[in-house]
Structure formats: C-alpha cells, structure tokens
Amino acid sequence: MKHFTNVKDLGNLELALKEAFEIKNDRFKFSGLGKNKTLLMIFFNSSLRTRLSTQKAAMNLGMNTMVLDINQGAWKLETERGVVMDGDKPEHILEAIPVMGSYCDVIGVRAFATFEDKEHDYKETIISQFIKYSGKPVFSMEGATRHPLQSFADLITIEEFKTKPRPKVVLTWAPHPKALPQAVANSFAEWMNETDYDFVITHPHGYELDPQFVGKAKVEYDQRKAFEGADFIYAKNWSAFEDPNYGQVLSVDRDWTVDTEKMALTNNAYFMHCLPVRRNMIVTDDVIESDRSIVIPEAANREISAQVVLKRILESL
Ligand code: AN0
Ligand code: CP
C-alpha cells in the first residue's frame, strides 16, 4: 500500500482485520520493519489520540518519528497557487511539502475542512498536494472529508464487541456548539457500508451527509425509532453538508443528546464515540460512564489501526 486516505486503499477488509488482531496479539512482532525509517506527522489541526497512537504505532514498528504542528512554531503556509503573498503567510505549501518530504520516508497529514469552499474541502486539496509533491507515501490522519484511521479502529472495536454476525449499528447525530467537519461521520458510513452489518444513520432534517458516503445505509429521521434494537450506538456531531448551509450549525437541540432513556430503547447497545466528546451535549455523563460505554477501548484501537497502515506502507517501500 502506497497511500492511505480511504477504505479502498486497504483492500480486503477481512485480511486487514486479521492483520489488526495479529498485531494486537503481539504489537512488537514487526519491530524491525521500521529500522532507520522516519515518520513525519504534520498537523494543521489539534489532536490528542491521533498524535499519540500513531507515534506509538510507529515506535512499535521501530520507526523514528517527527511531529510538526503547522500554525504553532512552523511558518504559516499559503495553500493556494497564484496568490500574491503580501499577507500573514511567509511560506508556500508548494515549497514546504517537498522540503518536508526530503526529511522522511512516510508522511501523515491532518488537515480538516476549512468550510470556506465546499469544493476545495471535498477535493481534499491539502492531502492531495502532499501526495502529489512530497514524493513519499502519505496517509490521512483526518482529512477534510474522511478519518480512515478512526473508522478502521471503530471497525476493529465492533468486531471485538459484537455478539452476533450482523449487529445493528446506528450512527446518530448529536448536538455540539461549534461547527464540526463531516469527516468522521462520512468515513464511518463509508466503512460500515463495506460490512454486512445492519447500518442505520439518524439525524435531524438538514444534516444529510454526502450521498457518496451514505451509500446503502438506511436513513431514519426519528432518533428513537433508529435506536430500537440497536447493538451499537455511534454518536457524532457534524455540521450541515447541503448547500446553502455547508459548514453551518443548524441545531443545538439537546433532545438529540444520547441519554439513558434513549439507550434503554436499544438491545443493550454499546456506546461509541471517536473522542474528544462534549459531555451532556453529545452524551450524558451516565451513558459515557456506563459499563456499555466502549469509548476507551475504541480509542486504544487507534494504535492498532495506525500500526496496520504503517506496516503496509513500510512493506511497500
Ligand atoms: C474533530 C471532528 O469532529 O472532526 C476531530 C474528531 C476526531 N473534532 C473536533 O474538532 C472537536
Ligand atoms: N479521535 C481522534 O482522532 O482524536 P484526536 O482529534 O484527539 O486525534
């Protein structure tokens, strides 16, 4: 595998899962693979889990790691070609990318949607430029439209906790005060559509996701109805995708918060969230602290998903 930006890059998911469990069983099994190889992680946005889990995965493989936070210590980067650079950005991404590529063997990039231009976001302009100009394998640490390392960890987690071959998995929108990207929801839907789970998406009117990600999922606007018989509740906020409201917060209605009363409608479902999560907006304290909450093992699996991806990239070098 050269680049990793979406589910298709991984190929057969059963094989990828098998590899994930092999690594989980002995995470130092391939500790010689990354010797003298350097991972550079570039963050245009904040991170706790991605930063730590990906670095840990790289260390398990024997790699060296370097982390750069653009906007905090590095020069601010201009990303558009043709701009007269008389503003606050001293460096252009077209020089910065090949320079960064010259210091490493593999590059991870986190670059969220900016919501300034939907087409620009949905073309994954930043990650695409890294692929085009770095000369190195590139993987997404959450792009503008997807968060594949998260979705892979989510899939591993569901496979670990499911008690039937075809669980009902519900992706539910939940309220949040700030405009968040659609990336986690898009990606989760994209990965769930690759399984044969009973997959349902629920959200208020106006929060429809890009149809290319919804795929064959059932969309149910009544959240309580969607929760009936669910085995997994996957909560996430996202901002509107449809024009003219792209990137906007249309509702902060706490009637959509995941609480004990709604969880009681499910088949004793597990609660999942990618984190960071705003308590008592997205989910109540009671639910996230309950014994059905698997947000911590879910986050722990980020190390495993990252390690499968890095291992495959290293094997292709
Ligand atoms: C980000 C998002 O919603 O895409 C990152 C989640 C992993 N969340 C926030 O910015 C709070
Ligand atoms: N879930 C996730 O990607 O978390 P961070 O934003 O903290 O990396």
Find where tokens 């949040």 sit.
Answer: 176
What's at 34, amino acid-wise?
G
User: What is the structure's pLDDT at 85?
Assistant: 98
Is the CB–ligand 1 distance for residue 274 below 6 Å? yes
Nearest CA-CA partner of 79 in 119, 120, 122: 120
Mean pLDDT of 97-119: 97
Please state the domain extents for the chain: 7-146+302-316, 149-298
CATH number attached to the domain at 7-146+302-316: 3.40.50.1370
Q: Which of 274, 281, 295 to mutate to test the pocket of ligand 1 (most atoms within 8 A of CB)?
A: 274
Q: How far does residue 208's CA lie from ligand 1's centre (Å)?
A: 18
Q: How far does residue 317's CA lie from ligand 1's centre (Å)?
A: 31
Is the CB–ligand 2 distance for residue 50 below 6 Å? yes
Atom of ligand 1 nearest to the CA of 184: 4
Phi, psi at 282, each rounded to 5°: -75, -50
Q: What is the pLDDT of residues 192-232, one digit of tens each?
A: 999 999 999 999 999 999 999 999 999 999 999 999 999 99
Contact 94, 81 (CB under 8 A): yes
- Which H or E run includes 302? helix 295-316
* Domain 7-146+302-316 and domain 149-298 have a common topology: yes
122-141 burial string, b = 16+ CB within 10 Å, else e?
bebbbbebbbebbebbbbbb
149-298 CATH pick, 3.40.50.10470, 3.40.50.150, 3.40.50.1370, 3.40.440.10: 3.40.50.1370
Is the CB–ligand 2 distance for residue 48 below 6 Å? yes
Q: What is the pLDDT of residues 255-306, one digit of tens each?
A: 999 999 999 999 999 999 999 999 999 999 999 999 999 999 999 999 999 9
Contact 111, 79 (CB under 8 A): no
pTM above 0.95?
A: yes
CB atoms closer than 10 angstroms to residue 101 = 17
Atom of ligand 1 nearest to the CA of 237: 3
Q: How far does residue 180's CA lie from ligand 1's centre (Å)?
A: 6
Find where tokens 């659609």 sit.
Answer: 182
Q: Whose CA is nearest to atom 10 of ligand 1?
A: 180
Is the CB–ligand 1 distance for residue 113 below 6 Å? no
Q: What is the pLDDT of residues 14-40, one digit of tens each?
A: 999 999 999 999 999 999 999 999 999
